[in-house]
């Protein structure tokens, strides 16, 4: 008989066997969980990517003093990318009554390519997404711009030679540029209007921008093609370069989802391992018969391989289907909570997933199946003549390692994968060792205790290899579930809490030094929370260790501040922060230092209004930009206050019912500008919320995979337990003894697995929190108590339920068993 | 450890049979209707007696053995083992009775593969609640000629050796009655003979009663009496060795 026919017969013959279904279900659920999570994570990832694009209102931006050539735009369009043009300039805008400095944006068709403008139809009215852009002759203006010009909606304003009508209030621009620190109010007009305003003469400070967006591959192809052709006065920015609070939150969101996906991977791997072991075991009798009837070992091996391939195909197809439906459900559930529709499903991850299923199956199932060729035909006469296959061949490890590598590559989060998978591997090792030790210990102990205990403890020893595999599998499964629980609840809660309740939602800028003290008192009287008032000087960087600095957006005009001690949300990475009475020292944010190419020991000279400050860089800081604190790239020692003209900037959280009063405080000083960044803070909380909801749904999927692991683990030894129970009952053991033995056996296993799983989840959770999410995670007592209790109850309970049939086994079965 | 019987029990307690089956019938509900497997079985076994049960394959020998040992209950009639009516006991009660009175030897040995020969025997002694299972198990294994293979696993032994371990496991708790279902069925002639010899030696040395299901006429002839099952009915063949 050839291998094809044999394998198809083998498969057919096993239609009724639980082992076959267990393996198909194990592989199928593994594939489905991973498919759903990966497809969904990929979708959300792309959605987040697009949201990250909001920072630029595009995926890529080319900007310069000169207008980017039309060729650049044509090139982008050839690649199927969408484009839009922008023109930004600072100019004085006039109304009938007043004039004021504004940041004017001329928006070309298509702007914004990412994100949306938000507008309101009246001061104080709720805002809504804008459809389109200001038409010819229209201007949309920031609410504070109305105050600055003493006008109302519908009044005319002049930008250069253009007369425009203010038709809407602009409440949100995705690419607000300088963030909340922009001093001047903003106005947005149609690009042709601004081009015709007569403001673009020589010496104008206008900045031209070309926005580009589209599929990630096309964008990066475009970036590679274009970047080398740009001169050094033209700057190309991608979302990777953009850093602000929103992108930071988005980054963390992606990491949370990746953790969820990885835990699903770990569970899937464990489920497949258990199912495969059981399947291979179930094949042994069959193979003995085949051999007894004269089948050659090589044919059997080939047949097993073919059978496995068939199974993998079925499981992968089922998994892809189930996963596709699953991710669709997830998206449906979330749809109501999402601001914008998710991008369509991409099939790109599917081949990788199929390969994952195949490798997992091959890695875990093939070695025991291949070992079947060595089953002695004598087994048919006497089962005890059959030597068990030996575990731990190197071949397994390779296939499994490659299998696990795939999702790591797909998720593109190597460090995070290292923590989750590495943590799992270490835990697996610890579990296996602990289980091995426990088996040894119980063997010794079994001889010292009596009755039921001896049975239970001896039960662990009787199935030494299986006990170790089961404990390891259960522990890993539990850790994955607990880890997800940690991520879902504690990590996200603590992340949210790491943005304190007094996260500033208002900034007050352009406060003159002689106004600072009085304002501080008035704000405090209003009951604002988290008030910080920091000095800020706008200066030119004129020299780096005696040399002229390169022309870069990061040099030229910079904002710097001084302080006598390290501000919150800052960590010194290199050097030491100065003592309160130090002078002539500078501390740089690492990003700025890297960008400009400055390090410890360099001397920087700043010029502000003819006065200069020179200092030496003595420390490099890591700044948590996500904290919404007022942070500065450049900090200098306090004596700079006497050398550089400066103003103050205040940040605080305003009580919602004191906004009117706050407005009056700001208006009483014409130079002071009040900025409401509440919308930005809300945006970040919204992202956190979305992510926690997504993680919750993914959690359900992972839970399903976890339950399969549990079932597979219990199923793996059931036949053996049944025979054993029958034999014991025949020898006269009471049911209580068999039951007590089961409980003790599972109890020991549960305690080991749960204890290590809880510890593993706490450690890995802590690592993830500190290294990747940037806050200190304190595992709650809840995790320990609840996680441990629930785990033990789950294992013992499931072991109990899963083995009811064992207890019901009629002893007479032994007479009919071969 | 005390036992209530000895080879002399047969003499003093002549009036008390060890095993009585009265009008025993067994049927199961099958998809095609009721399936009658055994009818009107009557038989009595005195302490120290040996009984062979013979019959064609599928005639109901194994079923009868299971009923006599209290592994399941008959559909009709009653069985009394060591003076106790089995139908009056629940499953655990019957298990307890087996633990104290009954040993088993199976056609396919049924040793636990992960336990050594010694541990397999000790397991039965532990279930029987013997205080010092190790010396008793060692003694039993020496008695079946396996004193040098105590720490060997079943897979390291031949079929005959495995069956000898099974026999040691069966008689080590010193049961009054030993059931054997085709104990030589999986063994070649010579090995089978050795195993049979061992069973009868244990019967002689320990006064254990034997109920032996077999195909082998020679083996049946060595028993005190032979019962033939045909179509689920029992025909006791009178034998010269039957005690009066
Ligand atoms: N639980 C059962 N359900 C259906 N048929 C049974 C059951 N137990 C035994 N039998 C049938 O009863 C008959 C006697 O079986 P068995 O006692 O094993 O015979 P023997 O041991 O003499 O070969 C067989 O035909 C068998 O198929
Ligand atoms: Mg039989």
Convert the pLDDT of each residue in A246-300 to its tens digit. Answer: 556 666 666 776 777 777 777 777 777 777 777 777 777 667 666 666 666 677 7
A689/A805 same-domain check: yes
pLDDT on residue B240: 42
Task: Evaluate if residue A139 carries a pLDDT over 80.
Answer: yes
CA distance A372 to chain B (A): 17
Mean pLDDT calculated for residue range B140-167? 92
Q: Which of A387, A728, A812 shows the shortest C-beta gap to B127? A: A728
Residue of B nearest to A385 (CA): B155
Q: What is the Å distance from ligand 1's center to B214 Cα?
A: 16
Residue with the two structure tokens 């800020």 = A536
Residue A547 is given by DSSP the state: B
Q: State whether B66 and A815 contact (CB < 8 Å).
A: yes
Which residues, including other chains, have CB under 8 Å from residue A700's CB and lie 6 or more apart?
A: none
Specify the higher pLDDT residue, B124 or A241.
Answer: B124
Q: How many domains does chain A have?
A: 4
Which residues, including other chains, have CB under 8 Å from residue A230's CB and lie 6 or more apart?
A: A62, A236
A265/A397 same-domain check: yes
Q: Pick from A26-35, A463-472, A604-613 the range whose average pLDDT is largest.
A: A604-613
The ligand placed nearest to the CA atom of residue B107 is 2
Task: Evaluate if residue A179 carries a pLDDT over 70.
Answer: no
pLDDT on residue B7: 45
CA distance B176 to chain A (A): 14
Q: How crowded is residue A658: how many other Cβ atoms within 10 Å of its Cβ?
A: 16
A276/A175 same-domain check: no
Specify the higher pLDDT residue, A614 or A734.
Answer: A614
Q: Which residues have C-beta atoms less than 6 Å from ligand 1? A: B 28, 30, 35, 37, 55, 57-63
pLDDT band at A678 (very low <50, low <70, confident <90, very high): low
Domain presence at residue A670 = no
Residue B235 phi, psi dihedral angles, 5° rounding: -120, 105
Q: Which of A387, A464, A816 shows the shortest C-beta gap to B114? A: A464
A343/A285 same-domain check: yes
Identify the contact set of chain A against chain B, taking CB-CB distances under 8 A: 381-387, 454, 458, 461-464, 723-724, 727-737, 810-812, 814-818
Task: Evaluate if residue A543 carries a pLDDT over 90.
Answer: no
Chain B residues within 8 A of A818 when measuring between CB atoms: 108
Domain presence at residue A435 = yes
CA distance B110 to chain A (A): 8
pLDDT in tens, A576-631: 998 888 888 999 988 788 877 888 999 998 887 778 889 999 999 887 766 666 77
A451/A566 same-domain check: no
pLDDT on residue A73: 92
Specify the higher pLDDT residue, A614 or A9.
Answer: A614
Q: What is the Å distance from ligand 1's center to A383 Cα?
A: 22
CA distance A277 to A712: 10
Q: Pick from A52-56, A430-434, A594-598, B109-113 the range whose average pLDDT is largest.
A: A430-434
CA distances from A764 to A301, A331, A759, B66, B98 (A): 41, 28, 9, 56, 53
pLDDT on residue B13: 46
A104/A179 same-domain check: yes
Specify the higher pLDDT residue, B7 or A188.
Answer: A188
Neighbours of ion ligand 2 (CB under 5 A): B 62
pLDDT on residue B2: 40
Percent of chain A surpassing pLDDT 90: 8
pLDDT in tens, A217-252: 888 899 999 888 888 778 888 876 655 555 566 666
User: Directed axis angle between helix A18-53 and helix A297-335, to 10°?
Assistant: 40
pLDDT on residue A288: 67
Say which range, A165-169, A330-334, B96-100, B205-209, has the weakest mean pLDDT.
A330-334
Cis peptide before A362 (omega within 30 of 0): no
Specify the higher pLDDT residue, A318 or A816.
Answer: A318
Nearest to A724 by CA among B67, B115, B174: B115
Beta bridge partners of B53: B213, B227
pLDDT on residue B53: 94
Domain presence at residue A775 = yes
A270/A408 same-domain check: yes
Last residue of a domain, one of A412, A447, A472: A412
pLDDT in tens, A767-794: 777 766 666 667 677 767 888 888 888 8
Tokens of A42: 């990929």
pLDDT on residue A666: 79
CA A571 to chain centre: 23
Task: Evaluate if residue A396 carries a pLDDT over 70.
Answer: no
CA distance B129 to chain A (A): 8
Q: Which residue is closest in CA terms to ligand 1's atom 1?
A: B28
Chain B residues within 8 A of A387 when measuring between CB atoms: 155
Chain A residues within 8 A of B108 when measuring between CB atoms: 382-383, 817-818
pLDDT on residue A696: 65
Could you confirm whether domain B19-236 is CATH 3.40.50.720?
no
CA dihedral A145→A148→A151→A156, nearest 10 degrees, is -70
Three-class DSSP category at A662: helix
A278/A401 same-domain check: yes
Task: Evaluate if residue A815 carries a pLDDT over 60.
Answer: yes
Specify the higher pLDDT residue, A58 or A204.
Answer: A58
Residue with the two structure tokens 């009215």 = A125
pLDDT band at B9 (very low <50, low <70, confident <90, very high): very low
ipTM of the prediction: 0.79
Q: Pick from A292-296, A421-425, A488-492 the range whose average pLDDT is largest.
A: A421-425
Three-class DSSP category at B50: strand
CA distances from A565 to A583, A601, A645, B160, B173 (A): 12, 19, 21, 87, 84
Chain A residues within 8 A of B169 when measuring between CB atoms: 731
pLDDT on residue A580: 87
A285/A388 same-domain check: yes
Residue from A379, A444, A810, A815 to probe the interface with B (highest B Cβ count within 10 Å) = A815
Q: What is the Å distance from ligand 2's center to A182 Cα?
A: 94
Tokens of A454: 């001896």
pLDDT on residue A773: 65
pTM: 0.59
Q: Residue length, chain A?
A: 818
Mean pLDDT calculated for residue range B186-198? 90
Chain B residues within 8 A of A383 when measuring between CB atoms: 108, 113
Chain A residues within 8 A of B159 when measuring between CB atoms: 381-382
CA distances from A239 to A66, A220, A627, A685 (A): 22, 11, 20, 21
Mean pLDDT calculated for residue range A404-429? 75
Q: What is the Å distance from ligand 1's center to B76 Cα?
A: 17
Q: State whether A384 and B162 contact (CB < 8 Å).
A: yes
- By most ligand atoms within 8 Å of CB, the mutation choice from B59, B61, B63, B213 for ligand 1 is B63
Q: Which residue is closest in CA terms to ligand 1's atom 5?
A: B28
pLDDT on residue B175: 93
Specify the higher pLDDT residue, A377 or A44.
Answer: A44
Q: Which residue is closest in CA terms to ligand 1's atom 20?
A: B58
Q: State whether B155 and A727 contact (CB < 8 Å).
A: no
Specify the higher pLDDT residue, A281 or B176.
Answer: B176
Residue A722 phi, psi dihedral angles, 5° rounding: -65, -50
Identify the contact set of chain B against chain A, taking CB-CB distances under 8 A: 62, 65-66, 69, 71-72, 91-92, 95-100, 102, 104, 106, 108-115, 123-124, 126-128, 154-155, 157, 159, 162, 169, 181, 186
Which residues, including other chains, have CB under 8 Å from residue A67's CB and lie 6 or more apart?
A: A208
Residue with the two structure tokens 């296959």 = A389
Domain presence at residue A259 = yes
CA distance B127 to chain A (A): 6
Q: Which of B66, B91, B98 shows the shortest C-beta gap to A735? A: B91
* In chain B, where the domains are located: 19-236
A686/A785 same-domain check: yes
Chain A residues within 8 A of B127 when measuring between CB atoms: 728, 731-733, 737
| Ordered alpha helix ranges (H), A143-188 | 143-149
Say which range, A444-453, B58-67, B217-226, has the weakest mean pLDDT.
A444-453
What would you report as the CA-atom Rg of chain A, rounded to the nearest whole angstrom?
A: 34
Ligand 1 atom with the shortest distance to the CA of B65: 17
Ligand 1 atom with the shortest distance to the CA of B64: 17
| Ordered alpha helix ranges (H), chain B | 9-12, 61-68, 91-101, 117-127, 133-143, 159-171, 189-206, 217-221
Q: Which of A731, A817, A818 shows the shortest C-beta gap to B127? A: A731
User: Directed axis angle between helix A735-767 and helix A788-802, to 10°?
Assistant: 140
CA distance A345 to A324: 9
Nearest to B61 by CA among B237, B210, B232, B235: B232
Say which range, A209-213, A381-385, A495-499, B23-27, has the weakest mean pLDDT.
A381-385
pLDDT band at A355 (very low <50, low <70, confident <90, very high): confident
A205/A262 same-domain check: no
Q: What is the Å distance from ligand 2's center to A652 Cα?
A: 89
Nearest to B161 by CA among A815, A385, A461: A385
Q: State whether B128 and A383 contact (CB < 8 Å).
A: no
Q: What is the Å distance from ligand 2's center to A627 Cα?
A: 79
pLDDT on residue B106: 86
Q: Which residue is closest in CA terms to ligand 1's atom 3?
A: B28
A533/A631 same-domain check: yes
Average pLDDT of chain A is 77
pLDDT on residue B169: 92
Ligand 1 atom with the shortest distance to the CA of B229: 22
CA distance A64 to A75: 18
Q: Residue length, chain B?
A: 244
Specify the higher pLDDT residue, A345 or A67.
Answer: A67
pLDDT on residue A698: 66
Q: How many CA atoms lie within 13 A of B25 on its CB side?
A: 11
CA distance A20 to chain B (A): 24
The ligand placed nearest to the CA atom of residue B66 is 1
Q: Pick from A667-681, A797-811, B61-75 the range whose average pLDDT is largest.
A: B61-75
pLDDT in tens, A305-328: 787 788 888 888 888 888 888 777
Q: Pick from A632-641, A742-751, B23-32, B199-208 the range whose average pLDDT is largest.
A: B199-208
Domain presence at residue A725 = yes
Domain presence at residue A136 = yes
Task: Evaluate if residue B156 carries a pLDDT over 90.
Answer: no
Specify the higher pLDDT residue, A160 or A172.
Answer: A160
Look up the domain containing A186 and give its range: 82-213
Cβ contact A88:A218 at 8 Å: no
pLDDT band at A683 (very low <50, low <70, confident <90, very high): low
Task: Evaluate if residue B211 carries a pLDDT over 90.
Answer: yes
Residue of A nearest to B182 (CA): A815
Q: How crowded is residue A771: how many other Cβ atoms within 10 Å of its Cβ?
A: 12
Task: Evaluate if residue A764 carries a pLDDT over 90.
Answer: no
Mean pLDDT calculated for residue range B110-132? 81
Task: Evaluate if residue B10 carries a pLDDT over 50.
Answer: no
């Amino acid at each position: 008989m050839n291998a094809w026919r044999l394998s198809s017969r083998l498969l057919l013959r096993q239609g009724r066997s639980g082992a076959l279904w267990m393996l198909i279900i194990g592989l199928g659920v593994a594939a489905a969980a991973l498919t759903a999570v990966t497809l969904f994570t990929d979708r959300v990832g792309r959605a987040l990517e697009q949201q990250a694009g909001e920072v630029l209102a595009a995926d890529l931006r080319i900007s310069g003093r000169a207008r980017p050539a039309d060729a650049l735009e044509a090139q982008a369009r050839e690649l199927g990318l969408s484009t839009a043009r922008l023109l930004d300039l600072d100019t004085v805008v006039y109304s009938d009554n007043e004039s004021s400095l504004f940041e004017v944006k001329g928006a070309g068709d298509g702007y914004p390519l990412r994100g949306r403008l938000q507008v309101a139809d009246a001061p104080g009215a709720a805002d809504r997404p804008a459809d389109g852009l200001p038409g010819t002759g229209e201007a949309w203006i920031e609410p504070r711009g109305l105050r600055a010009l003493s006008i109302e909606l519908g009044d005319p304003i002049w930008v250069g030679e253009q007369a425009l009508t203010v038709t809407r209030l602009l409440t949100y621009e995705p690419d607000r540029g300088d963030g909340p620190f922009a001093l001047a109010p903003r106005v947005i007009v149609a690009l042709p209007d601004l081009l015709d305003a007569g403001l673009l003469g020589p010496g104008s400070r206008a900045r031209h921008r070309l926005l580009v967006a589209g599929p990630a591959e096309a964008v990066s192809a475009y970036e590679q093609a274009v970047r080398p052709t740009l001169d050094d006065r033209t700057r190309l920015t991608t979302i990777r370069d953009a850093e602000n609070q929103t992108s930071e939150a988005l980054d963390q969101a992606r990491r949370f989802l990746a953790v969820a996906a990885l835990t699903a991977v770990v569970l899937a791997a464990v489920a497949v391992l258990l199912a495969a072991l059981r399947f291979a075991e179930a094949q042994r009798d069959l193979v003995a018969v085949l051999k007894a009837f004269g089948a050659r070992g090589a044919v059997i091996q080939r047949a097993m391989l073919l059978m496995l391939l068939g199974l993998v195909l079925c499981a992968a197809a089922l998994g892809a289907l189930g996963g596709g439906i699953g991710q669709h459900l997830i998206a449906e559930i979330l749809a109501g909570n999402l601001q914008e529709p998710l991008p369509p499903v991409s099939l790109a991850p599917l081949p990788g997933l199929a390969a994952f299923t195949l490798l997992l199956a091959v890695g875990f199932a093939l070695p025991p199946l291949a070992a079947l060729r060595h089953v002695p035909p004598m087994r048919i006469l006497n089962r005890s003549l059959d030597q068990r296959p030996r575990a731990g061949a190197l071949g397994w490890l390779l296939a499994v390692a490659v299998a696990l590598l795939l999702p790591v590559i797909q998720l593109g989060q190597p460090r995070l994968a290292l923590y989750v998978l590495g943590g799992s591997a270490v835990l697996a090792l610890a579990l296996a060792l602990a289980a091995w030790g426990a088996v040894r210990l119980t063997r010794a102990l079994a001889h010292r205790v009596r009755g039921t205990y001896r049975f239970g403890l001896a039960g662990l020893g009787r199935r030494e290899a299986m006990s170790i595999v089961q404990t390891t599998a259960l522990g890993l499964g539990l850790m994955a579930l607990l880890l997800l629980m940690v991520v879902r609840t504690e990590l996200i809660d603590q992340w949210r809490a790491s943005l304190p309740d007094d996260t500033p939602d208002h900034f007050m800028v352009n406060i003159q030094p002689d106004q600072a003290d009085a304002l501080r008192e008035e704000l405090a009287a209003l009951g604002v929370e988290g008030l910080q008032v920091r000095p800020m000087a706008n200066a030119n960087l004129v020299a780096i260790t005696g040399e002229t600095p390169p022309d870069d957006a990061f040099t030229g005009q910079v904002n710097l501040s001084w302080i006598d001690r390290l501000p919150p949300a800052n960590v010194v990475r290199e050097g030491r922060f100065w003592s309160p009475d130090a002078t002539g020292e500078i501390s740089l944010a690492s990003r700025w230092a890297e960008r400009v190419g400055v390090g410890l020991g360099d001397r920087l000279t700043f010029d502000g209004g003819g006065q200069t400050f020179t200092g030496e860089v003595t420390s490099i800081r890591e700044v948590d930009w996500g904290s919404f604190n007022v942070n500065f790239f450049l900090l200098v020692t306090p004596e700079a206050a006497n050398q550089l003209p400066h103003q103050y900037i205040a940040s605080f959280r305003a009580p919602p019912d004191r906004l009117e009063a706050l407005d009056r405080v700001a208006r009483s000083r014409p130079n002071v500008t009040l900025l409401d960044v509440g919308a930005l803070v809300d945006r970040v909380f919204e992202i956190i919320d979305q992510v926690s909801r997504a993680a919750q749904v993914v959690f359900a999927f992972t839970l399903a995979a976890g339950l399969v692991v549990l079932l597979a683990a219990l199923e793996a030894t059931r036949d053996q337990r049944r025979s054993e129970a029958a034999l014991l009952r025949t020898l006269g053991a009471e049911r209580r003894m068999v039951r007590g033995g089961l409980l003790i056996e599972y109890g020991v296993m549960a305690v080991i697995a749960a204890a290590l799983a809880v510890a593993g989840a706490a450690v890995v959770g802590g690592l993830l929190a500190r290294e990747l999410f940037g806050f200190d995670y304190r595992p709650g007592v809840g995790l320990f108590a609840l996680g441990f209790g629930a785990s033990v109850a789950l294992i013992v309970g499931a072991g109990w339920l899963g083995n009811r049939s064992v207890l019901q086994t009629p002893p007479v079965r032994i007479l009919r068993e071969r | 450890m005390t036992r209530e019987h000895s080879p002399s029990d047969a003499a003093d307690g002549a009036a008390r049979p060890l095993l009585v089956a009265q009008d025993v019938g067994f049927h199961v509900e099958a998809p095609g209707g009721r399936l009658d497997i055994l009818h009107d079985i009557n038989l009595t076994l005195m302490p120290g007696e040996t009984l062979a049960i013979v019959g064609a394959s599928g005639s109901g020998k194994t079923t009868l053995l299971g009923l006599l040992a209290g592994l399941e209950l008959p559909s009709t009639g009653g069985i009394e083992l060591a003076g106790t009516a089995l139908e009056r006991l629940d499953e655990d009660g019957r298990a307890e009775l087996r633990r104290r009175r009954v040993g088993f030897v199976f056609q396919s040995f049924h040793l636990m593969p992960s336990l050594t020969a010694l541990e397999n025997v000790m397991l039965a002694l532990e279930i029987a609640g013997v205080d010092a299972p190790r010396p008793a198990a060692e003694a039993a294994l020496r008695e079946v000629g396996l004193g040098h293979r105590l720490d060997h696993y079943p897979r390291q032994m031949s079929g005959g050796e495995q069956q000898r371990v099974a026999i040691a496991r069966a008689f080590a708790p010193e049961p009054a009655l030993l059931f054997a279902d085709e104990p030589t069925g999986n063994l070649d002639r010579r090995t089978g003979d050795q195993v049979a010899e061992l069973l009868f030696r244990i019967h002689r040395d320990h006064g254990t009663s034997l109920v032996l299901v077999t195909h082998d006429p020679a083996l049946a002839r060595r028993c005190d009496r032979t019962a033939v099952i045909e179509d689920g009915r029992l025909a006791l063949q009178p034998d010269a060795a039957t005690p009066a």
